[in-house]
Amino acid sequence: PYPAFHSLQQNSPVHRTLMPDGHYAWIVTRYEDAVNVLKDQRFIKDFTVFLDEESRAQAHQSIFSRNMLFADPPDHKRLRGLVQQAFTPRIIEELRGRITEIANELIDDMQDRSQIDLIDDFAFPLPIIVICEMLGVPSEDRDKFRTWSNTLVEASNDPEKAEKVQQHMQEFTAYLQEWMADRQENPQNDMISKLIQAEESGDRLSEQELYGVVSLLIIAGHETTVNLISNGMYALMTHPEQMRKLQEQPDLLRPAIEEMLRFEGPVEFSTDRWASETVELQGQTIHRGEHVLVALDAANRDPEAFEDPDVFDITRGRSKHLAFGKGMHFCLGAPLARVEAEVSLQTLLERFPDLQLSTDVSDLEWRPGILMRGLMELPVRLK
């Protein structure tokens, strides 16, 4: 997408375009505009304010509708606050040991093979196991969560899949209801029990809001870090001099991950924003109710914000990239994603120092849909 992004940045930085589902959206591609839009509270998340009461009630029935990502102040703070306590850098740091164990177990399973798909065999399962353990999802149910999570993301790419989405959402809701009822009676040391207890102690989240937050965490845990690990390894393997540098200077690991987030950010576009009033931006007039999308991966390669933006350089140092968004909706899971990526890269490179791409770069395929930036497969030779 990058040549197209650069062309938009130069010729039409706030660009009105027809979306696959037949409506128009404004695409913002320059870094400075991206930051301004993400911080500007005139661009709101809850589009249901534009609907009549009946349509609004209907929209709120969806299990995924009542969560922080689709909420504005003052609701947003309440919806985010409760979960935030479980995602502070300190708490996440305590998970590093367990995450390292999971990474090593996944690698132990590859020992006898010379070639693997780094996505299917490693990058995908690792964050799923972690988020499921944090929430308290029994391991035998993980596959179901994978299916439901895929469906929710597909739904945003393809409106024609509505029927399948409906069915999977019913299954998912039924599962959540039963699971939460069980934890209410038998609390465990997991996030779901804590959320339920907090609810009882007065930090009110409605039942619908609890479903919303749990499904958001499950989706975020399934669909994003996989792309950070795999896009990052892809960048390293296609830039062998950077790979060597990292192997010679392991303390470059953290800046390397920030550069991976900038260079091939897992989330290509922000989620939807809507103008709550008329806003002028780069000479364009965005009217109330119009849809705005920030191209995060474009902003991260804006030549006005980053020198030689198309060069992958793990020694850039402190990065102001927007891969985790900006402002109020800044990624809640960023500390977790960073630790997962650090552990993954470190463990992979320690155990397979000669890891190499085992296919032609031109044969690699990116996943369809504009929301996520991730490869379908990443075949690698281990030794």
**CB 329 within 8 Å of CB 30:** no
Quick one: 13 or 266, whose CB is closer to ligand HEM?
Answer: 266
> What is the torsional sign of CA 383, 96, 105, 172?
negative
Instruction: Give which of 292, 255, 257 is closest to 271, Cα–Cα.
Output: 292
How are strands ordered across the β-sheet holding 273-275?
A: 14-18, 24-28, 291-294, 273-275, 43-44
Quick one: 265 or 382, whose CB is closer to ligand HEM?
Answer: 265
| x/- map, 60-89, ligand HEM, by CB under 6 A | --------xx----------x---------
Residue 170 structure tokens: 């019913």
Task: Reply yes or no: is the peptide bond before residue 74 cis, omega within 30 of 0.
Answer: yes
Query: Which residue stretch of 54-62, 160-168, 177-185, 260-268 sits at the interface with ligand HEM (rule: CB under 6 A)?
Result: 260-268
Binding to ligand HEM by residue 336, rule CB under 6 A?
yes
| x/- map, 206-245, ligand HEM, by CB under 6 A | ----------xx--xx--xx--x-----------------
In angstroms, give the least distance from the CB of 70 to ligand HEM.
8
Instruction: Give which of 235, 170, 166, 205 is closest to 66, Cα–Cα.
Output: 205
Binding to ligand HEM by residue 333, rule CB under 6 A?
yes
Binding to ligand HEM by residue 262, rule CB under 6 A?
no
Residues 111-140 that bind ligand HEM (CB under 6 A): 131
Residues 312-331 that bind ligand HEM (CB under 6 A): 323-325, 329, 331
Binding to ligand HEM by residue 35, rule CB under 6 A?
no
In angstroms, give the least distance from the CB of 229 to ligand HEM.
8
- Dist. CA 289–CA 273, nearest whole Å: 9
The HSE-up count of residue 174 (CA atoms within 13 Å, CB side) is 7
Helix axes 225-237, 334-351, angle to 10 degrees: 40
Binding residues for ligand HEM (CB under 6 A): 68-69, 80, 131, 216-217, 220-221, 224-225, 228, 265-267, 270-271, 296, 323-325, 329, 331-333, 336-337
